[in-house]
Chains A and B, each alone.
Chain A
Amino acid sequence: MTRRRDFLKSSAVAAGAIAASRILSPAELWAARLSSAQESDDALAHLRFAELAPSDIEALLLQAVDAARSAGATFADARIGRYKRQQIATRERQITGVQDTETVGLGVRVLRLGTWGFAATRDLSPDGVRRAVREAVGIANANRLPGVPPVVLAPGEKHGRQTWKSSYAIDPWDVPIEQKAGLLFAANAEALKVPGVRFVNGGMAFVKEEKHYANTDGSIISQTIIRSDLPYVVTAVASDNSDFQARGNAVQPMGRGYEYIVAQDLTSSARLWAEQAAEKLTAKSVEIGKWDIIATPSNLFLTIHESIGHSTELDRALGHEANMAGTSFLAPPQQKLGETRIGSELMHVKGDRSQEGSCAAMGFDDDGIKPKEFDIIRNGMFVDYQTTRELAPSLDWWYRKQGKPTQSNGCCHADSWNSVQFQRMPNVSLMPGEKDITLDDIIAATDKGIVMYSRGTYSIDQQRYNGQFGAQLCYEVRGGKIVGQLKDVAYQMRTTDFWQSMDMLGGRRSYELGSTFNDGKGEPGQVSAVSHGCVPARFRNQNVLNTGRTG
């Protein structure tokens, strides 16, 4: 309890160091930091991440890891991170919010006598680090329970000093706010020209993570990750207020910079989305019954995410998420790996953190592992889970059978310095088919179907059997041709039946990434961003319901 008071007191004392009434340039601030850092031993107490030299960060990380080792940890890692978010929100012709958020701190994880402890602090002084390590060790000690087998980790990797940067050309923080707002306003104005369109909510969201990691295996890793999103919703209202319809989720978030936003050709896109929203007001309400679903990548990615991405997480299969996200129909592993047919022979699914521009791309995970691409489903059969170093050893029997070493698939991730890392989804992607099939080919081959675009409503049970999915835009296909827009569409599916009904799959040319920016999991809840590569695909005879009922 006293540490907060002490900290404030020391800050107040430091107030004299820089005259509060004068505006200092960043260079002046920097100089002041350095000089005050040299003045006294405890100056680091006032030093913040922005001013910390890479050598300071490394010193603090190594202090944490060494202190944990001295306290009896068999494994420890420390992360110092700066997490920035920027959000700009507009509606119609006005700005509604400009927010820039930054949070900095350290998290330390220790494994002592087979039990984990974790502590995090925003106090990046040597004292702060010492206290955090002491707390983490104290928690590990308190949590040792009799008769519980110790945590055993899959082999670590010694990477030495490494740096990694995600794929971006323009750092969004280098682009002035008025330029971003200007782009949105121009698009909003264009959308509002469409008759019936009354509202536009357009925004941008950016994430920048500067993460530094060290562990007892001998890795010191620095990574910079940028992601960009363009949430944009156009709403059309019937002239008598009897209905309103929206078109949103048209742009996929990506692990890219501002250049990705510019490439969206927002003004003409907004016009198109507005026309689609207005057209939805008079679209035909869907007829309940069996339809072939033709899911395009912008829509199918979320079905992959929910039904395949989450069901193949090993921590879920082992019951770690039973109280929150749930377990999995792919459990227990001994009965499911290599035994379960999930989809048709056409279905191949891989996990990776390497696709350029994808949301889950990173050079190293938060276990200090360099992720590799791995097969999850081969020819429709289930062959591997998403794993971490803690989880992988339970599949020793399976990897031995496959003649493969037991190692983590590189799926360990924490969403901030103050949250503990655990198994998070990498990109989980449906591979293209071998034939060069396009969406048009699939439509032409379909007698009675619905083409679905962009993520709509989505819900699935806690073991990922029963899902219900909608879309932003649906088009009716009759006799191989699109005949018009439909509304009030959702299909209910059973995961394995759905994937086994897949009988047409697009080729490599039709492969796209779809992404979600804030996938939730864990307690306390954490978010992560993930992409799913996929191609258009057809699913025969799905149950479609009408969501337009009024009582």
Chain B
Amino acid sequence: MPLLTRDQAQSLIERTIRLSRADELQVSINAGDETNIRFADNRITTSGTADDLSVRVASAFGARAAVTTTNDVSDEGLERAVRLSESLARLAPENPERMPLLGTQAYRDVESYVQGTATATPADRARVALTAIESAKRAGAVVAGFLTTTAGSTAIGNSKGLFAYRSSTGVDYSQTVRTPDGTGSGWAGANHPDWRQIDFAAVSARATQKALASRNPTAVEPGRYTVILEAQAAGDLVQLLAGSLDARSAAEGRSAWSKQGGGTRLGEKVVDDRVTLLSDPWDPQLLSSPFDNEGLPLQRQVWIENGVLKTLPASRYWSQRQNLTPTGQPNSLKMSGTDQTLEQIIAGTDRGILVTRLWYIRPVNARTLLYTGLTRDGTFLVENGNVTRPVMNMRFNESPLFMLGKLDAIGAPARLSGDSNGLVVPPLRVRDFAFTSLSEAV
């Protein structure tokens, strides 16, 4: 059972609403247990657990609004938070874009709370660490990794009768295996709401294999290459493109989705016609929240369909002003693909660079979505359908927008490590990917 049940969340929200003297009040609750274990240098380094319960109180008097958050849920704590949000709201200038709160909504539940995740013990976690450490030691290597579990619930309620509730669990696991001479490094990870769906030994095997195979890399000349981005590397870039989708900034002329001369690029073919990007809380690979932070029910939304920009996320205010349907703030992302495996993509490649994951990705040019960053933890040359040798890491300066227009193979979408909301992206093969310098980093 989640830390805060539906009934408990409802009564806590009602208790808060009763304290309100504002025109409108919305209460959001986040409750949960988080556990973690971290290992490095073939030993456990830090490990802990923390429980918390925070209440976010948003009060509004007409167009004046303010938010306070507290984790003191005694009556006095709540009273203090409500009074503070009211006094801040009264002093705040009017926000002409403030939207009235939503009333009662209907939600379709997403099943994403797994008891087996919530009840994992310190001994279970230590066993995972030990499995990884033993696997690395057998290979004569050194491992660093991280396992975290979360079990919690979120709820939103307001003075107009809205009530949304969701409980969920999560497991995120990743590790980096390095060879003791410092010349090889391999990464692998996994993520799922269900502890039993994580193949801990397989993650270790993959990271170890990459570490050993990546020893003593040699340089290739930086330049434009065909790259095979493993799902994790592809996801690192595709999520940046998704994050830039926004109706308002596009209309305002300060986005990659703005049209020269005015307006947005909606309806235009913007990338390869095999590209479809969507958010769908019920997708079995995503299982994300069916409502956003305002309590708006989320639907399946297709942002880019067969390469055409179909929908830009729009806030309630912007939707009203532009006569659009509000999309809500999506919290998960899927890029659809084929059933081709990574191995098949490699086998079909004459010459290219295979990339495990990307690192320190930062925006360089907001107009073109140009980003820079580096390859990391397993970069290889592929020749005539085979991985032939490890190569030195390289810095890229590339745009996911350009990249999705230069696709020549798409694989099977996979759920990626590091994003508990659900990020599902296929491995990709991309032509003319721009590497601009070498890095000695391993």
Contact = CB atoms under 8 A, between A and B. Distances in A.
Interface of A: 1, 3-5, 7-8, 11-12, 14-15, 17-18, 20-21, 23-24, 26, 29, 32-33, 46, 48-51, 94-105, 107, 115-123, 135-136, 138-139, 141-143, 145, 148-149, 176-178, 181, 185, 198-199, 235, 237, 240-244, 246, 318-324, 326-327, 329, 331, 418-420, 422, 457-466, 468, 470, 488, 490, 492, 494, 523-524, 543, 545, 547-551
Interface residues of chain A: helix, strand, loop or mixed (majority): mixed
B47 A488 contact: no
Interface of B: 1, 3-4, 8, 11-12, 15, 18-19, 21, 31, 34, 36-38, 40-54, 65-77, 79-81, 83-85, 88-89, 91-97, 118, 121-123, 125-126, 129-130, 133, 142, 144-146, 148, 174-176, 178, 182, 185, 187, 252-254, 258-262, 359-368, 370, 372-374, 376, 393, 395, 397, 402, 436-442
Contacts of A545: 397, 436
Contacts of B31: 4
B370 A11 contact: no
A465 B75 contact: no
A115 B44 CA distance: 8
A484 B365 CA distance: 21
Contacts of A135: 49
Contacts of A12: 11, 15
Nearest to B21: A23
A98 B144 contact: no
Contacts of B67: 97-100
Contacts of B97: 94, 96
Contacts of B182: 327, 331
A456 B133 CA distance: 40
A460 B360 contact: yes
Nearest to A107: B50
Contacts of A185: 93
Contact of B144 (A8, A100, A320): A320
Given A48-B72, A244-B367, A458-B362, A468 B148 contact: no
Given A181-B93, A185-B93, A465-B441, A322 B40 contact: yes
B116 to A, nearest CB: 14
Contact of A118 (B18, B47, B366): B47
B187 A459 contact: no
A466 B68 contact: no
A48 B130 contact: no
Contacts of B77: 48, 50
Contact of B91 (A123, A177, A461): A177
Nearest to B119: A1
A117 B188 CA distance: 26
Given A98-B67, A492-B437, A551 B361 contact: no
Contact of B133 (A145, A149, A181, A419): A145
Contacts of B142: 319, 322
Contacts of B95: 94-96
B359 A14 contact: no
A319 to B, nearest CB: 5
B372 A176 contact: no
Contacts of B376: 326, 461-462
B165 to A, nearest CB: 15
14 contacts: A51-B76, A98-B65, A102-B69, A102-B70, A117-B47, A149-B43, A240-B260, A322-B144, A323-B187, A420-B48, A457-B362, A465-B440, A550-B368, A551-B402
A320 B54 CA distance: 31
A319 B75 contact: no
Contacts of A15: 15, 75
A461 B374 contact: yes
B18 A139 contact: no
B260 A32 contact: no
Contacts of A524: 34, 36, 146, 148
